[in-house]
């Protein structure tokens, strides 16, 4: 699988949990997935597979097809909203966001996941440049010494939901998207050149969509590629947009995250969005760095904007804090989004029960410990957490897996103290570490009525019965005065034994907020393709772009000895005189390498030896390396034994 797809799926999973919709909460929902991705300036992973292990091409196609970037997310979580890949070059990810917003308004989906990923699979010096990169790798947006953009990477995902519904569901809201717009440059001075009039228009239409007064905009996160052509044009477009509404000068701060992290191309729009979301959350405006002397082609004195080059407090003036984000693609597609700070959330309702059930679940004991460590860091940073909202989010917004912990707590301090004692401890000794009941269990579900000697294994039927018993206990607790904590302890015990608890029912009738909490500690495993040891990476380049497996000269010489080290005892059969050509011996070594056979009859059919179209492709490529001529799998199909294939190759080499 292309690392882009793997990292994107990981990031989406984390975003879903961060929003409080982990576990089964989002499964089967009408959630849309909108991914912005382009192939600007990078070498594809499928090409690496083709060079290093061509026999895997057919298997690798689904994991390397761009359209499956969003499709894989929809498949994994069984999502039934639209699933779209959007490519407008540098503006791809923000265009995906605007598209998702419009889909939510039109009720094409109930919720939307928007994201993008941009990584470089090879060293930057080996990649193809596209002409806007700076000479020293630094982005100096609006500076007189600017020479282009530095290069950045990132994997980003955000969850969108209609504002009113998010309020009703008491979701954790980072910011509010007030309005957005898209347009195209049309015919300008060049197909990749920016157009100030089009930029002004898309900003103006986003303001109208947001139904806000433009002079209440306090900050704009610009596209800001740091090019001599693009920066002055962007300021011109901003000035034109503002001048339709006000003559005020220097009232709106501007900056570009590209000065901090570089230009992540198709992911850059969402990178800018993330920056302003956290600026709104923390009520600060980050500085535009790498800025010393303003670009002489920009008239800032008479402009409505000023370049914010220092960290400053974001003061609230006439209205809620508002800002804009611009993202312009060299495809000519422009986008602009207007955001506003989150309104003050309503506090949780007064709750009858003083004790709460805390659960923690993971797929291994190692993950349990990693999870506990994350909670310790969380409590060190967050001194005042509503414990009712905390437990509500944990129980309803996270998955429930084989390894389970459950216990009753009354306060944040109590929970933090208990967690600190559990880290690294033997689970069998949990009950000795505190003066409360700590429930710990491991269960592995089996289908049907299978029985295992492992006491931790339960059948599907047993799991159902545990869930039914828990439901009875839960109902009894809710219908009482909610002070029978023995029932809560019973529910904890049923939970760690493998019972499914309907946590939504547990909190029915109460107003609790989803809050931001630590997310599941995903296991880091290497999944890079294996480059065969026999294939050396030479000092040469393929197509003058990147250093990779060289299919000529040195590599061919190396591959001509394939099988010699591990296959000296290959036995060729089929001729009474026992004489075989050098070509036949080379093919036999390849047969051995791919099919694992040691006694090879030169008349044995390739397919009868276990071959198929995939291994046929691999054999064709290995033969190609040995003779330095193009051989495709159809040749193997037409000459399926060593005798026929050797005769074909001898004729080919004699031409």
The vertex-31 CA angle with 28 and 33, nearest 5°, equals 120
Helix H or strand E segment including 18: helix 3-18
What is the rounded distance in angstroms from the CA atom of residue 103 to the CA atom of residue 82?
9
Going 243 to 248 to 250 to 255, the CA torsion angle's sign is: negative
Token pair 């954790």 is found at 172
170: left (phi over 0), alpha (psi -120 to 50) or beta: left
Tokens of 102: 């419009």
Going edge to edge, which strands form the sheet with 333-341?
175-184, 333-341, 322-328, 219-221, 252-255, 305-307
What is the rounded distance in angstroms from the CA atom of residue 234 to the CA atom of residue 223?
8
Residue-level length of the chain = 655
Q: Which of 351, 310, 276, 638 is CA-nearest to residue 513?
A: 351
E-strand spans in 57-174?
83-86, 111-118, 154-160
What is the rounded distance in angstroms from the CA atom of residue 632 to the CA atom of residue 557?
20
In the chain, how many H helices and how many E strands? 22, 19
Q: Which of 443, 501, 498 is CA-nearest to residue 472?
A: 501
Helical packing angle, 613-627 and 642-654, nearest 10°: 40
Catalogue the active-site residues. 90, 223, 263
Q: What Cα–Cα distance (Å) separates residue 244 from each residue in 140, 210, 241, 248, 409?
A: 29, 16, 6, 11, 58
Task: Please say whether the beta carbons of 177 and 339 come within 8 A.
Answer: yes
Tokens of 511: 């107003």
Helix H or strand E segment including 36: strand 31-36
What is the rounded distance in angstroms from the CA atom of residue 64 to the CA atom of residue 458?
38
Tokens of 143: 């500076």
What is the rounded distance in angstroms from the CA atom of residue 463 to the CA atom of residue 494?
10
Tokens of 585: 């011996």
Q: What Cα–Cα distance (Å) separates residue 168 from each residue in 28, 73, 173, 388, 553?
A: 21, 26, 12, 18, 68
E-strand spans in 529-625?
571-573, 599-601
Token pair 């920016």 is found at 194
Q: What Cα–Cα distance (Å) separates residue 181 from each residue in 231, 337, 638?
A: 21, 7, 57
Helical packing angle, 92-105 and 268-282, nearest 10°: 70
């Amino acid at each position: 699988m292309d690392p882009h797809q793997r990292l994107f799926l990981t990031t989406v999973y984390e975003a879903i949990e961060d929003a409080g919709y982990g576990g089964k909460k989002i499964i089967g929902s009408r959630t849309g997935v909108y991914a912005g991705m382009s192939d600007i300036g990078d070498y594809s992973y499928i090409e690496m597979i083709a060079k290093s292990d061509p026999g895997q091409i057919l298997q690798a196609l689904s994991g390397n097809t761009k359209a499956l970037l969003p499709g894989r997310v929809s498949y994994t979580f069984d999502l039934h909203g639209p699933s779209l890949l959007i490519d407008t070059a540098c503006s791809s990810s923000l265009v995906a966001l605007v598209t998702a917003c419009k889909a939510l308004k039109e009720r094409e989906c109930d919720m939307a996941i928007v994201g993008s990923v941009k990584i470089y699979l090879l060293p930057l010096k080996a990649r193809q440049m596209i002409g806007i990169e700076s000479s020293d790798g630094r982005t100096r947006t609006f500076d007189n010494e600017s020479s282009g953009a530095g290069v950045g990477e990132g994997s980003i995902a955000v969850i969108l939901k209609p504002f009113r519904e998010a309020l009703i569901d008491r979701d954790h809201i980072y910011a509010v998207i007030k309005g957005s717009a898209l347009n195209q440059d049309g015919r300008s001075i060049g197909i990749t050149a920016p157009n100030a009039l089009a930029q002004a228009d898309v900003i103006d239409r986003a303001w109208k969509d947001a139904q806000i007064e433009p002079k209440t905009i306090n900050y704009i996160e610009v596209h800001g590629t740091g090019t001599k052509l693009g920066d002055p044009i962007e300021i011109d477009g901003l000035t034109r947009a503002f001048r339709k509404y006000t003559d005020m000068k220097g009232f709106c701060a501007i900056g570009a995250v590209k000065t901090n992290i570089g230009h992540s191309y198709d992911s850059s729009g969402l990178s800018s969005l993330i920056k302003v979301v956290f600026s709104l959350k923390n009520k600060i405006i980050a500085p535009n760095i790498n800025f010393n002397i303003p670009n002489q082609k920009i008239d800032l004195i008479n402009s409505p904007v000023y370049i914010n080059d220092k960290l400053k407090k974001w003061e609230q003036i006439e209205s809620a804090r508002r800002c804009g984000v611009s993202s312009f693609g060299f495809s000519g597609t422009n986008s602009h989004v207007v955001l506003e700070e989150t309104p003050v959330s309503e506090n949780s309702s007064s709750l009858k029960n003083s004790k709460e059930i805390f659960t923690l679940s993971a797929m291994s004991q190692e993950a349990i410990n990693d999870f506990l460590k994350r909670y310790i860091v969380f409590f060190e940073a967050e001194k005042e957490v509503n414990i009712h909202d905390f437990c509500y989010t944990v129980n309803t917004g996270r998955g429930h897996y084989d390894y389970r912990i459950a216990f009753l707590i009354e306060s944040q301090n109590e929970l933090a103290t208990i967690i600190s004692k559990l880290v690294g401890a033997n689970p069998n000794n949990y009950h000795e570490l505190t003066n409360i009941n700590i429930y710990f269990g491991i269960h592995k579900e089996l289908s049907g009525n299978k029985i295992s000697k492992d006491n931790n294994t339960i059948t599907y039927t047993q799991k159902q019965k545990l869930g039914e018993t828990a439901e009875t206990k839960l109902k009894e607790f809710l219908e009482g005065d909610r002070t029978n904590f023995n029932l809560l302890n019973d529910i904890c015990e049923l939970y760690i034994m493998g019972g499914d608890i309907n946590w939504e029912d547990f909190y029915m009738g109460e107003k609790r907020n989803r809050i931001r909490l630590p997310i599941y500690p995903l296991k880091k495993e290497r999944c890079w393709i294996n480059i065969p040891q026999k294939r050396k990476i030479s000092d040469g380049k393929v197509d003058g772009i990147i250093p990779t497996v060289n299919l000529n000269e040195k590599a061919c010489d190396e591959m001509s000895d394939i099988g010699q080290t591990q296959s000296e005892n290959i036995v060729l059969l089929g001729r009474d005189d026992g004489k075989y050509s050098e070509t036949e011996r080379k093919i036999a070594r390849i047969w051995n390498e791919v099919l694992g056979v040691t006694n090879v009859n030169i008349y044995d059919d390739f397919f009868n030896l276990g071959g198929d179209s995939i291994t046929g492709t691999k054999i064709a490529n290995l033969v190609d390396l040995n003779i330095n001529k193009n051989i495709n799998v159809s040749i193997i199909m037409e000459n399926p034994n060593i005798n026929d294939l050797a005769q074909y190759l001898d004729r080919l080499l004699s031409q």
